[in-house]
Amino acid sequence: MSTKAHRFKSIYEDSKDKIFRLCLAFSGNDMEADDLFQEVYIKVWTHLDSFKNESQINTWIYKTATNTALLSIKKRNRTNEHLQQWKHTHFDSEDPMDSYATMDHKMGLLFLAISRLKEDHRIIISLVLENHSYQEISEIVGIPVTHVGVKINRIKKELKKKLKG
Protein backbone atom coordinates (compact mmCIF):
# COMPACT_ATOMS: atom_id res chain seq x y z
CA MET A 1 0.00 0.00 0.00
CA SER A 2 1.34 3.43 -0.95
CA THR A 3 2.07 6.20 1.54
CA LYS A 4 -0.88 8.18 0.19
CA ALA A 5 -3.17 5.18 0.63
CA HIS A 6 -1.99 4.67 4.24
CA ARG A 7 -2.50 8.35 5.00
CA PHE A 8 -5.94 8.36 3.39
CA LYS A 9 -6.99 5.22 5.26
CA SER A 10 -5.93 6.76 8.57
CA ILE A 11 -7.72 10.05 7.81
CA TYR A 12 -10.82 8.18 6.66
CA GLU A 13 -10.97 6.01 9.79
CA ASP A 14 -10.53 9.05 12.05
CA SER A 15 -13.15 11.21 10.35
CA LYS A 16 -15.72 9.00 8.61
CA ASP A 17 -18.37 9.01 11.35
CA LYS A 18 -18.28 12.77 11.86
CA ILE A 19 -18.30 13.48 8.15
CA PHE A 20 -21.21 11.11 7.56
CA ARG A 21 -23.21 12.85 10.30
CA LEU A 22 -22.37 16.19 8.69
CA CYS A 23 -23.54 14.89 5.30
CA LEU A 24 -26.71 13.56 6.90
CA ALA A 25 -27.38 16.90 8.58
CA PHE A 26 -27.09 18.70 5.25
CA SER A 27 -28.98 16.16 3.15
CA GLY A 28 -31.69 14.97 5.51
CA ASN A 29 -31.75 11.34 4.37
CA ASP A 30 -29.42 8.35 4.29
CA MET A 31 -29.35 7.89 0.52
CA GLU A 32 -28.35 11.48 -0.25
CA ALA A 33 -25.93 11.46 2.70
CA ASP A 34 -24.23 8.35 1.25
CA ASP A 35 -23.82 10.06 -2.12
CA LEU A 36 -22.51 13.22 -0.52
CA PHE A 37 -20.18 11.24 1.75
CA GLN A 38 -18.66 9.44 -1.23
CA GLU A 39 -18.25 12.70 -3.11
CA VAL A 40 -16.44 14.24 -0.13
CA TYR A 41 -13.96 11.38 0.17
CA ILE A 42 -13.34 11.31 -3.57
CA LYS A 43 -12.35 14.98 -3.25
CA VAL A 44 -10.23 14.24 -0.18
CA TRP A 45 -8.40 11.45 -2.05
CA THR A 46 -7.98 13.56 -5.19
CA HIS A 47 -6.60 16.58 -3.34
CA LEU A 48 -4.76 14.88 -0.48
CA ASP A 49 -1.36 15.48 -2.08
CA SER A 50 -2.10 19.20 -2.34
CA PHE A 51 -2.95 19.55 1.38
CA LYS A 52 -0.23 21.82 2.73
CA ASN A 53 -0.75 21.35 6.49
CA GLU A 54 -1.62 25.04 6.86
CA SER A 55 -4.57 23.97 8.99
CA GLN A 56 -5.53 20.81 10.81
CA ILE A 57 -6.48 17.93 8.52
CA ASN A 58 -9.90 17.70 10.20
CA THR A 59 -10.54 21.38 9.44
CA TRP A 60 -9.61 20.81 5.80
CA ILE A 61 -11.91 17.79 5.55
CA TYR A 62 -14.78 19.71 7.18
CA LYS A 63 -14.25 22.57 4.72
CA THR A 64 -14.33 20.08 1.87
CA ALA A 65 -17.46 18.40 3.24
CA THR A 66 -19.25 21.69 3.94
CA ASN A 67 -18.48 23.15 0.52
CA THR A 68 -19.50 19.91 -1.21
CA ALA A 69 -22.76 19.80 0.76
CA LEU A 70 -23.60 23.42 0.04
CA LEU A 71 -23.00 22.94 -3.69
CA SER A 72 -25.21 19.86 -3.63
CA ILE A 73 -28.00 21.78 -1.89
CA LYS A 74 -27.79 24.61 -4.43
CA LYS A 75 -28.12 22.10 -7.27
CA ARG A 76 -31.04 20.37 -5.54
CA ASN A 77 -32.82 23.69 -4.90
CA ARG A 78 -32.46 24.72 -8.55
CA THR A 79 -33.90 21.36 -9.60
CA ASN A 80 -36.78 21.68 -7.11
CA GLU A 81 -37.55 25.20 -8.35
CA HIS A 82 -37.73 23.96 -11.94
CA LEU A 83 -39.98 21.06 -10.90
CA GLN A 84 -42.26 23.40 -8.94
CA GLN A 85 -42.50 25.79 -11.90
CA TRP A 86 -43.32 22.92 -14.24
CA LYS A 87 -45.92 21.51 -11.82
CA HIS A 88 -47.68 24.86 -11.41
CA THR A 89 -47.63 25.42 -15.15
CA HIS A 90 -49.18 22.03 -15.90
CA PHE A 91 -51.52 21.43 -12.94
CA ASP A 92 -54.15 23.69 -11.36
CA SER A 93 -54.98 21.76 -8.18
CA GLU A 94 -53.45 22.35 -4.76
CA ASP A 95 -51.02 19.68 -3.69
CA PRO A 96 -50.89 18.63 -0.02
CA MET A 97 -47.14 18.20 -0.52
CA ASP A 98 -46.79 21.98 -0.97
CA SER A 99 -46.31 22.44 2.79
CA TYR A 100 -43.30 20.12 2.56
CA ALA A 101 -41.99 22.08 -0.41
CA THR A 102 -42.29 25.27 1.68
CA MET A 103 -40.33 23.62 4.48
CA ASP A 104 -37.67 22.51 1.96
CA HIS A 105 -37.59 26.05 0.60
CA LYS A 106 -36.97 27.50 4.08
CA MET A 107 -34.17 24.99 4.67
CA GLY A 108 -32.78 25.87 1.28
CA LEU A 109 -32.78 29.55 2.22
CA LEU A 110 -30.96 28.76 5.46
CA PHE A 111 -28.31 26.75 3.65
CA LEU A 112 -28.01 29.42 0.98
CA ALA A 113 -27.42 31.99 3.76
CA ILE A 114 -24.83 29.65 5.27
CA SER A 115 -23.13 29.35 1.88
CA ARG A 116 -22.68 33.12 1.84
CA LEU A 117 -20.78 33.15 5.13
CA LYS A 118 -17.02 33.31 5.29
CA GLU A 119 -15.45 29.88 5.05
CA ASP A 120 -14.47 29.60 8.71
CA HIS A 121 -17.98 30.70 9.76
CA ARG A 122 -19.55 28.06 7.47
CA ILE A 123 -17.46 25.40 9.16
CA ILE A 124 -18.27 26.59 12.67
CA ILE A 125 -22.03 26.78 12.07
CA SER A 126 -21.96 23.36 10.37
CA LEU A 127 -20.28 21.91 13.43
CA VAL A 128 -22.89 23.59 15.65
CA LEU A 129 -25.67 22.11 13.51
CA GLU A 130 -24.04 18.73 14.03
CA ASN A 131 -24.12 19.27 17.82
CA HIS A 132 -20.37 19.35 18.37
CA SER A 133 -19.26 20.67 21.73
CA TYR A 134 -17.42 23.96 22.04
CA GLN A 135 -14.30 21.97 22.91
CA GLU A 136 -14.57 19.89 19.71
CA ILE A 137 -15.20 22.99 17.60
CA SER A 138 -12.18 24.62 19.20
CA GLU A 139 -9.97 21.67 18.32
CA ILE A 140 -11.24 21.32 14.75
CA VAL A 141 -11.12 25.01 13.87
CA GLY A 142 -8.05 25.86 15.92
CA ILE A 143 -9.44 28.71 18.01
CA PRO A 144 -9.52 28.97 21.81
CA VAL A 145 -12.62 27.40 23.35
CA THR A 146 -13.39 30.74 25.00
CA HIS A 147 -13.85 32.31 21.55
CA VAL A 148 -16.19 29.63 20.19
CA GLY A 149 -19.34 30.96 21.87
CA VAL A 150 -18.59 34.52 20.79
CA LYS A 151 -18.06 33.37 17.19
CA ILE A 152 -21.28 31.34 17.21
CA ASN A 153 -23.31 34.33 18.46
CA ARG A 154 -21.82 36.57 15.76
CA ILE A 155 -22.52 33.96 13.08
CA LYS A 156 -26.15 33.59 14.23
CA LYS A 157 -26.63 37.37 14.07
CA GLU A 158 -25.09 37.42 10.60
CA LEU A 159 -27.40 34.60 9.45
CA LYS A 160 -30.46 36.44 10.81
CA LYS A 161 -29.48 39.53 8.80
CA LYS A 162 -28.97 37.46 5.66
CA LEU A 163 -32.31 35.71 6.07
CA LYS A 164 -34.21 39.00 6.64
CA GLY A 165 -32.51 40.83 3.79
Q: Which amino acid is at 131?
A: N
pTM of this structure: 0.57
40-95 pLDDT tens trace: 999 999 999 988 887 788 888 988 888 888 888 777 666 556 556 655 554 454 55
98-113 pLDDT tens trace: 544 555 667 777 777 8
Which of the four pLDDT bands, split at 50, 70 and 90, describes residue 38?
very high
Range of the domain at 31: 3-164
Gyration radius of the chain's alpha carbons: 18
Q: Where are the alpha helices (DSSP H) in the chain?
A: 3-27, 30-47, 57-90, 98-115, 119-129, 134-141, 145-164
C-alpha 98: how far from its chain's center? 25
Which of the four pLDDT bands, split at 50, 70 and 90, describes residue 147?
very high
CA distance 39 to 85: 29
CA distance 96 to 164: 27
Domain count, the chain: 1
